[in-house]
Structure 1
Amino acid sequence: MAQNIYDNPDFLSGYSQLPRQVLGLAGAPEWPALRAMFPDMEGKRAIDLGCGFGWVSRWLRENGARTVLGVDLSESMIARAREATGDPAIDYRIADLETIELPEAAFDFAFSSLTFHYVSDFDRLARMIHRSLTVGSHFVFSIEHPVFMAATHPAWIEDEDGRKTWPVNRYAIEGERRTDWFAKDVVKYHRRIATTLNVLIRAGFIIEAVDEFAPSAQQISEKPALEEELERPMMLLVSVRRQEHPARPDRTSIPSGGSTPKSRRHEDDA
């Protein structure tokens, strides 16, 4: 089971004060770049993996999705999402993305914001998402950029001129990373960019767009603190499309049957 840090009261209290949680999508600077990767939502059955407070789930419905399933590991997040949502076409469920089972061809669009770096077995999850999508459907997601999370001690270092530098070490050593962020020992999983993209290709996805998010000049003028994001990429944004069959099928990894999500799992910052 994945670490459920979001039901830690201290973590949730701090996390809830982030601009993206107070202001919603308007407080997420990468949102315009992510949204530009979306296909037309009209009539689509969508799934929001790691839905958190449900900001994107509600946006999908407001922009034409026929139904939306939002899943998250955190009971507190799901409770807050349900309180904020009065639309019967949006269903929120507790689910663990490490073990989630999704019905075959049940969705026409999949989305996830800043969640998959909390998943240890991304290979399994990518194949499960591929299985759950109809042919030709899009899957768009963001994760913490591998450059951002690779280091042993990820934090700004200032050189003799006062210029900020972000350390990058252990980049090729993939696996668990522990950081202190609103709580001690938050567990994340570092993967190289190549690993993430190759997992998607093996699962049967066609890569359509990749973006290493950096704020625009206008965003920086409106919020000067964003200027430091020009020094290193914080987020990786990816858009892929489902092919008919996986490139390298693994018959032992994906169950032949399917069910609606019923385990537990997580989100992050959207």
Structure 2
Amino acid sequence: MEFRGASVYDQEDFFSNYMKRRGRKDSPNNAIENPIIYELIGDFQNKSILDLGCGEASFGKELLNQGAAFYTGIEGSKLMVSSANLNIVRENGTIHHETLESYSFPTNKFDIVSSRFAIHYVSDIHLLFQNVYKTLKDNGKFVFSVQHPLTTSSFISKQTGDKRENWIVDDYFLEGERKEPWIEQIVVKYHRTIETYFKALTKSGFFVVDLREGKPKREHFTNEAEFVRRQRIPVVLAFSCTKRE
């Protein structure tokens, strides 16, 4: 069976196994992507933040604890929403059980829009980026990460297990659906080139301020072997953009 969007996270076994992996200090989420996202977001004190595909909203909890004015999380998985509501218990935080496609983006509402490893589940990024542009205030910031296109181009090297020892890059310029064997399920993601992300952002009106490919830093890893392995190929692609006036 194939799963699209957030639906796979509502499979209890998958959800449990994913959360265990997600919690590892040396996971790409924690050791690579997390430091980049905080650096790209910069100052979020007294800012209103919209988080697309917020998962269990641990990020939102951190932002509020560190001075964000308001946090809104959008999440399509019921199990994730239940976990998120346990993390976001303050009056200045709220979680919406919506997909990135179904959410009604308010106009000129947020100072910052973030999205972490979620946009590669979305089929139409042009519409999504237009909605993000609309919902940001003037000079607002859009910061997001996706799975790096070098890793989504082909999943042939994952046929024998989740942990890849070699990465096959193939059909890179053939964009579209990819079916990834992941945690004993088949998950549909959308492969796009870096160029496509860049052009879609600028066409929507954004100015691309920064781009990162997730170069690992030793101080973020507890395990030397894992650090060495993560230097072989980029697994994160992250953008920082601003809304032009």
Partner deviation per Cα, 1:159-199 (whole Å, 9 max, x = no partner): xxxxx542100100000000111242200000010001110
Say whether the 8 Å CA contact 2:26–2:220 is kept in structure 1: no
Say whether the 8 Å CA contact 2:25–2:222 is kept in structure 1: no
Distance in 2 separating the partners of 1:154 and 1:131 = 39
- AA paired with 1:29? A
Partner deviation per Cα, 1:222-261 (whole Å, 9 max, x = no partner): 45313211111001011000113xxxxxxxxxxxxxxxxx
- 2:77 aligned with 1:74: yes
Partner deviation per Cα, 1:116-162 (whole Å, 9 max, x = no partner): 001111111010000000010111111000001101414499xxxxx
Q: Percent identity?
A: 28
Q: How far 1:214 sits from its partner (Å)?
A: 2.0
Q: How far 1:63 sits from its partner (Å)?
A: 2.1
Which residue of 1 is the match for residue 188 of structure 2? 187
Q: How far 1:10 sits from its partner (Å)?
A: 2.1
- AA paired with 1:65? A
Distance in 1 separating the partners of 2:59 and 2:222 = 26
Distance in 2 separating the partners of 1:92 and 1:3 = 15
Which residue of 2 is the match for residue 239 of structure 1? 240
- AA paired with 1:190? H
Q: How far 1:25 sits from its partner (Å)?
A: 9.9
**Structure 2 length normalisation: TM-score?**
0.90
What runs of 5+ residues in structure 1 fail to find an aligned partner?
A: 158-163, 245-270
Which residue of 2 is the match for residue 111 of structure 1? 114
User: Considering only CA atoms, is the larger Rg found in Structure 1 or Structure 2?
Assistant: 1
Task: Call closer, same or farther: CA 1:15–1:206 in 2, change over 3 Å.
Answer: same
- 2:139 aligned with 1:136: yes
Say whether the 8 Å CA contact 2:139–2:244 is kept in structure 1: yes
**Structure 1 length normalisation: TM-score?**
0.82
Distance in 1 separating the partners of 2:149 and 2:233 = 11
Q: Secondary structure at the match of 1:232?
A: coil
Say whether the 8 Å CA contact 1:156–1:165 is kept in structure 2: no
- AA paired with 2:171? R
Distance in 2 separating the partners of 1:222 and 1:152 = 26
Q: How far 1:88 sits from its partner (Å)?
A: 1.5
Say whether the 8 Å CA contact 2:31–2:221 is kept in structure 1: no
Which residue of 2 is the match for residue 126 of structure 1? 129
Task: Call closer, same or farther: CA 1:24–1:104 in 2, change over 3 Å.
Answer: farther
Which residue of 1 is the match for residue 87 of structure 2? 84
- 2:8 aligned with 1:21: no
Partner deviation per Cα, 1:30-73 (whole Å, 9 max, x = no partner): 21122111131121110111111111111211222111001100
Which is helix-richer, 1 or 2?
2
Cα RMSD of the aligned pairs, angstroms, is 2.3
Q: Secondary structure at the match of 2:182?
A: coil
